[in-house]
Amino acid sequence: MAGKFELYQDKAGEYRFRLKAGNGENILASEGYKQKSSAENGIESVRKNASEDKRYERKETSSGKHMFNLKAGNGQVIGTSQSYTSASGRDNGIESVMRNAPEAKLDDQTA
C-alpha cells in the first residue's frame, strides 16, 4: 500500500497535513497553516523536496532522541518527524519519506 498525505483541520482551526507510510505510520507532520491553500502548497513542497537528501536536517533532542526536519529550498521547515530512539530509526524514517512522499495521494479530510 502506498503512502498518503492527510490534510485536516486541528482544534484551533488551522490546516495541517501529515504523511503516512503504507503501513499507516505517521512519518512527517506539518506546522499549522491559516489557509488551506498554504497547507496544500506545503504538501507540494514536500513532494518536490523529499527525494533530496540534502534537504533533511538530522537532529538530536535534548533528551537524546533522534528526529529530522525536511526543509524547502529556501531553508524553511516544511515537515517534522516523530522522535526516534536511535539514529538508524531516524534514518529509516527519512528513507520512508523519500520513498512515499513523491507519489503519495491526498486524503483531504476538510472537504
How does residue 4 score in pLDDT terms, banded at 50, 70 and 90? very high
Q: What is the mean pLDDT of the chain?
A: 96
Max Cα separation, the chain? 40
| pLDDT over threshold 90, residue 87 | yes
Q: What is the pLDDT of residue 111?
A: 80
- Each residue's pLDDT tens digit, 8-59: 999 999 999 999 998 999 999 999 999 999 999 999 999 999 999 999 999 9
**Other CB atoms within 10 Å distance of the CB of residue 56:** 21
| pLDDT over threshold 90, residue 70 | yes
Q: What is the pLDDT of residue 1?
A: 64
Domain range annotation of the chain: 4-108
Q: What CA–CA distance (Å, rounded) separates 32 from 88? A: 28
Mean pLDDT along residues 71-94: 96
On whether the 4-108 domain is CATH 3.50.50.60, my answer is no
